[in-house]
Amino acid sequence: MPTRQIEWNVHTLGQIAVYALLIIPVGFLAYGLARRVRMWRIGQPEDRFDQWGTRLRGAITQSIFHGRIVRRRNRYGGLMHLFIFVGFVTLLIGTFIVMIEDDITVPIFHYSFYRGDFYLGYKLAMNLAGLLLIAGVLMAFYRRLVIRPKQQDTSADDLVILSFLAVLTVQGYVLGALRLGVQHDDWAKWSFVSYALAIPLRGLSDGWLRALHQVNWFSHFLTTFAFLAYFAYSKMMHPFTSLTNVFFRRLKPMGELTPIANLEEAESFGIGKLEDFSWAQLMNLDACMHCGRCLEFCPTFTTDKPLRPRDLILEIGGYMADSGGIFSGELGEGENSARFRWGEGPERELIGGVVSTEELWDCTTCGACMEQCPVFIEHVPLIVGMRRNLVLEQGEFPDELTNVFNNLERLSSPYQFPPSQRDAWTKKMAQPIRIMGEAAAAEEEVEVLFFVGCLGSFDSRNQRTTMALARILQAADINFAILGKEETCTGDPARRIGNEYLAQMMARQTVETLNQYSFKKIVTACPHCFNAIKNEYPQIGGNYEVVHHSELISQLIAEQRITLDPASDVASGKVTYHDPCYLGRYNKVYDDPRSVVTALPGAELTEMGRNRNQSFCCGGGGGRLFMEETRGSRINQARVTEALETGATTLAASCPFCMTMFEDGINGVGANDLLQVRDIAELVAAAMLTMTETETLREGDGAESAEDTESTEKKE
Ligand code: SF4
Ligand code: SF4
């Protein structure tokens, strides 16, 4: 019956020696793991122990099935990792199977399963897994040494790990080949790689083959032990750290930042030292596998600014390793527990020493890094946490923000306009716009609250979007009102900038205003307002149904509550759509704005290379709209260039921040004659038929259905 003798050609003393020696690398591994876990525990408490089923499912999907690793635009790297992972794990399982047979089932239960069909299948699977692993390792060497993608850095650690994997696999094959050279199993072809390697060994005597087998057997174990000992002190730790990181990932909406609790009583603010991170954030720092996927769509990396999200994580992770004695020294006790180390660590401050303030201020909080990271590292909360420390504790922030903070405090908006001008745009409308307070005083019902936002209220370019949306709502006969002079900033820019004090003040003020009134849902054209109201207001008792205008307009078109003029040429030709980060990545609204664009008569939607969750930022989020862009090239111009490359003449936007950045970007690259940026509401309003025109068109068609009539009547 097909099988083989385990530990063939190895003296019992040799087997005992190997088991005795195993204690050393296992000790190293256990020590390394314990140090890391102990390091994480110096962090602040954070509840990540809920929803175990969801956590487990995510860990399996992401780790075993490589959910985020194999992605479009990263097939090579994804498949490479998949090959290494599947090959390595299969071989590891194979090793445990042999140990179970040799150390448990045979000696204890006198039962052997390592024979017959199982054995043949096992041999085939192990030979295939080894090939997969070697293919992955060769792809990795090729990528790191030949392709050298911009976002990939290669350290000695990477090459050592890949070499270990290659050597261990080859040793395994050679062991099989040397044994087959002596034993000539009838079923040897099932171990097809070892069988092929055994062919050139046929000229060697049994004595030589046995001697070589023993040398190879011991060296295989020594290599394994060295790898095990190295494991916990190298990037190879990532199968453990990334699995735990994925398991304990944040399950709240991506767009929700955790507020500072009890702000009034807090003695320190944000993250200024290692102990200020939560334990889960410290675990984040250890989970990074240096893959560089977070760089590919990062606007700061792509435009040569100092912030590189991977490096940020590695810099702080290295600081933690140094400070916490992952490699050296004992952890101290109490307040300065993470400060003890040998060398230069304690003298370096986290902000300004390990991480530069330029890195922190350059972030647009676009979330591309978090969306791409295969192990769910959360860069944005770390960056905002350190910004909070800079703003609230150190009083250090770019000069341009002084006015923003003053305006928010005095005028409830980042701009220097008095609240009395918030509804100035309504005077330009042909039909009156109802104000919520007045409607409530008159005891009139309001179905939809149109939350205009600061840019939509005060900025003349974005007022055009506001008016367009109001016209659409009127045309669809929607019962809506605005807050008017009562509206205040949602607090989004202040929160992302790190001024949590102002953010909470603005958010509470807005929730207080909203809670005075009765309405069914909120619509807004600003993804930043949308995100804050949807994801952050529930933290302070503001629970509302909120939709982005792209969702509502898409629905109105689908329900034929607004009709577009088939002869309209407002967007004829190629139109490219830009996904705003706070609508797309943060809230997964991708299809509605596209369905609006494709509904425009004559419009041909053409996608930019980077789109949907792999979209590229406009450069205006995270408070960057209010700051000068002094480092690297300009993000908005990079995106406008990408839009121009599609051949589109219209760049469709659905965010006032993007609108402002793109108007500036189009000017900057001198493309005013080639490309226009229009909000989808502007495009729809311009292509929309008036009621009279709609009726005439339908009568002219002579194809009026009962449903159409009802729909037209509704509009009347
Ligand atoms: S949030 Fe955006 S800008 Fe900030 S580090 Fe991540 S990818 Fe870069
Ligand atoms: S942070 Fe995530 S995406 Fe970036 S290098 Fe580390 S593991 Fe890769």
Domain count, the chain: 4
pLDDT tens digit sequence for 183-197: 999 999 999 999 999
**How far apart are alpha carbons 632 and 617 in whole angstroms?**
15
Q: The CATH number of the domain where 305 resides is what?
A: 1.10.1060
Cβ of 23: how many Cβ atoms within 10 Å? 10
Q: Is residue 404 part of a domain?
A: no
- pLDDT-derived band at 671 (thresholds 50, 70, 90) equals very high
Do residue 160 and residue 45 come from a single domain?
yes
Residue 252 lies in a domain: no
What is the distance in A from the centroid of ligand 1 to the CA of 271? 18
Inter-axis angle of helices 52-59 and 238-247, nearest 10: 140
Q: What is the mean pLDDT of residues 266-291?
A: 93
Ligand 2 centroid–CA 598 distance in Å is: 36
Whether residue 173 lies inside any domain: the answer is yes
Q: Are residues 552 and 565 in the same domain?
A: no
Pocket test for ligand 2, best of 298, 373, 382 (most atoms within 8 A of CB): 373
Query: Region 675-697: what's the mean pLDDT?
Result: 80
C-alpha–C-alpha distance, residues 394 and 376, integer Å: 30
Ligand 2: residue of 69, 236, 285, 291 to mutate (most ligand atoms within 8 A of CB) is 291
The phi, psi pair for 524, rounded to 5°, reads: -145, 150
HSE value, Cβ hemisphere, 13 Å, CA-based, for 631: 17
Could you read off the pLDDT of 517-575 as tens digits, one per residue?
Answer: 999 999 999 999 999 999 999 999 999 999 999 999 999 999 999 999 999 998 889 99
Residue 206 included in any domain: yes
Q: Same domain for 63 and 171?
A: yes
Strands (E), 394-525: 448-451, 480-482, 521-524
If asked whether residues 17 and 153 sit together in one domain, one would say: yes
- CA–chain centroid gap for 187, Å, is 49
CB 476 within 8 A of CB 441: no
Q: Are residues 18 and 163 in the same domain?
A: yes
Q: Specify whether 331 is located in the same domain as 471.
A: no
Protein residue whose Cα sits closest to atom 1 of ligand 2: 310
User: Looking at the structure, do residues 34 and 160 belong to the same domain, yes or no?
Assistant: yes
299 lines ligand 1 (CB under 6 A): yes
Same domain, 55 and 155: yes
Q: At 368, which helix (H) or strand (E)? A: helix 368-372
Ligand nearest to the CA of 362: 1
3-state secondary structure of 547: strand
HEC-encoded secondary structure of 111-161: CCCCCHHHHHHHHHHHHHHHHHHHHHHHHHHHHHHHHCCCCCCCCHHHHHH
Q: Within 10 A of 76 (CB to CB), how many other CB atoms are there?
A: 14
- Tokens encoding 674: 């080639």
Record the pTM. 0.87
Same domain, 535 and 569: no
* Residue 506, token pair as written in the block: 């603005």
Beta-ladder partners of 688:
564
Q: Is the CB of residue 379 below 6 angstroms from any atom belonging to ligand 1?
A: yes
Domain residue limits at 389:
263-394
For residue 399, tell me if it sits in a domain. Answer: no
Determine how many CB atoms are found less than 10 A away from the CB of residue 566: 10
At a CB cut-off of 8 Å and minimum separation 6, what does 200 contact? Answer: none
Give the residue from 192, 215, 247 where a domain finishes. Answer: 247
Closest residue to atom 6 of ligand 2, CA basis: 288
CA distance 468 to 462: 10
- Determine contact, residues 563/689, Cβ cutoff 8 Å: yes
* Tokens (6 digits) for 649: 């003449």
Compute the distance from residue 447 Cα to the ligand 1 centre, in Å.
Answer: 38
Q: Give the mean model confidence (pLDDT) for residues 575-599.
A: 98
Distance CA 259, CA 267 (A): 15
Residue 70: which region, alpha, beta or left (left: phi > 0; alpha: psi -120 to 50)?
beta
What pLDDT is stored for residue 152 in this prediction?
A: 79
Same domain for 435 and 386: no
- How much is the average pLDDT of 206-227? 95
Mean pLDDT check: name the lowest of 124-138, 614-628, 646-660, 687-701. 687-701
Place of tokens 């000069």: 399
Which structure tokens are listed for 363?
Answer: 């972030």
Angle at CA of residue 464, ends 460 and 469, nearest 5°: 140
Task: Copy the structure tokens of residue 509.
Answer: 């003020």
In the sheet that 676-679 helps form, which strands lie side by side, from edge to edge? 603-605, 573-577, 650-653, 676-679
Separation CA 550–CA 561 (nearest Å): 15
What ligand is nearest to the CA atom of residue 249? 2
Work out the average pLDDT over 101-121: 96
Nearest CA to 665 out of 617, 603, 623 is that of: 617
Final residue before a domain boundary, out of 362, 394, 426: 394
What CATH number is given to the structural domain containing 515? 3.40.50
431-484 pLDDT per residue, tens: 999 999 999 999 999 999 999 999 999 999 999 999 999 999 999 999 999 999
Closest C-alpha to ligand 1, atom 8:
298
Q: Does 319 lie in the same domain as 242?
A: no
CB-ligand 1 contact for 300 (6 Å cutoff): yes
| Residue 205 maps to a domain | yes
The SS3 of residue 435 is strand
Q: Is residue 253 part of a domain?
A: no
Query: What are residue 522's DSSP bridge partners?
Result: 449, 546
pLDDT band at 347; cut points 50, 70, 90: low
Question: Using CA of residue 517, residue 518, residue 521, residue 523, what is the dihedral sign?
Answer: negative
Q: Is the CB of 130 under 6 A from ligand 1?
A: no
Ligand 2 site, residue 316, Cβ cutoff 6 A: no
Question: Beta strand 603-605 with 573-577: parallel, antiparallel or unpaired?
Answer: parallel
pLDDT at 696 (0 to 100): 52
* Residues found in the chain: 716
Residue 714 lies in a domain: no
d(CA 4, CA 466): 77
- Asked if 496 and 431 sit in the same domain, the reply is yes
